[in-house]
A and B are shown apart, each in its own frame.
Chain A
Amino acid sequence: MSVALIRAEIAKMRRLRTGIIVLVMVVGVTALAVLSALSSPDFSDPGTRSWAALLAGMSLAVPLTSPLLLAVLASRQVDIEHHGNGWLLFQTSGATRGGLCRAKLAVLGAVVCAVTAAEAGLVLLAGIALAVPGPPPLALWWGYAGAVAVVNLVLLGLHILISARVENQLAGLGIGVLGTLLAVFATGLPPLLAHLTPWGYYALATAAGYRDGELVTFVPGYASIAALAVLGGVLFAVFTTRFDRREAS
């Protein structure tokens, strides 16, 4: 993957208005997380405000907002190659279809990691602004953010592959919509079922929520998330290598 390829992908982002989608993602997750914490009964009295309520808000806002917007980000970045005959152009200038996909994942992946960090950071700042008592659970906070970043990256890779493989972007976006449903409902499923789809791992990463009516913090399923990272990485490498061997079209 050459520097020139990475720079080309960054240049494409300008006219694709990737910045706006990214802004929507950050503002959407932050606003939804803070609103959901504010609407919980614990938050009406400043004395009982807790960091767990904010973490629970994030655990609701992330699976609701991320799957579809990741599909949109990937689809926009890949669809231009279908529209502008970019695959053939890059293939004749030495960059294979798989290489192009890897460059897209590298560039968009960096953006998505920054988005996740911004979401977690802004919700943390909101907690400080709302004068939540006690020190914030920083290890859990950034552990959760890291787990979400991994799930986001795996989904991003999946959507880049789908958008590149199927020209009709209905496929990628349709899967994004169904993924949103899976992500939202996975919280209510037993953990075993949540392991079955990549969207379920948002539920496994959950850092706080209600158990028997009590708001408690959880330890995210780091082992499961690590396994997803390895599996996702291997599959992305395998599929993009297979793309490399496809004839120019």
Chain B
Amino acid sequence: MSQLIKMLAISIMVFVPISSHSHDGEKHSLIGESKADKLDQCVEPTEVMQKEHFEFLYHQRENTVEKGIRTKNHSLANCIDCHVSYDEKGKAIPVNAEGQFCQTCHVKTAVNIDCFSCHATVPRDNSSKIKSTGYNQNIHIESTANNLVEYYKETNYEK
């Protein structure tokens, strides 16, 4: 009997921490609204996503970079596209900003995320969208390109 209780105690100790995570049963209360708010479930069941999303991302990144597989389901770009919140003006708030989807849990669980030193934190398509968002940025692109060209003209031109 005592052995049974011991087993039970051990099993509780072993299994309880695994089944708990940063927000058990809590709903996200994030600033702004995202596409994900309107959906019942992510690409996998919520439980699975909460514990194993990074596994999917690791797997996908190898497939994408090395093999050129570009499926949407487990791609980081798709995560961001769906989970990014928009403020009242319709402007996207970076997913790693305070109080946003990625950051909320990662702060609570003290796990640093490294994705966003390289990956865009808001859906940002090239050219067409950049052009439509701002005139200034366009000038910046041009000036950068011109500078590069000037520089290489100077360095490579045989006088």
Q: Does A associate with B in a complex?
A: no
Residues of B within 8 A of A (CB): none
Residues of A within 8 A of B (CB): none
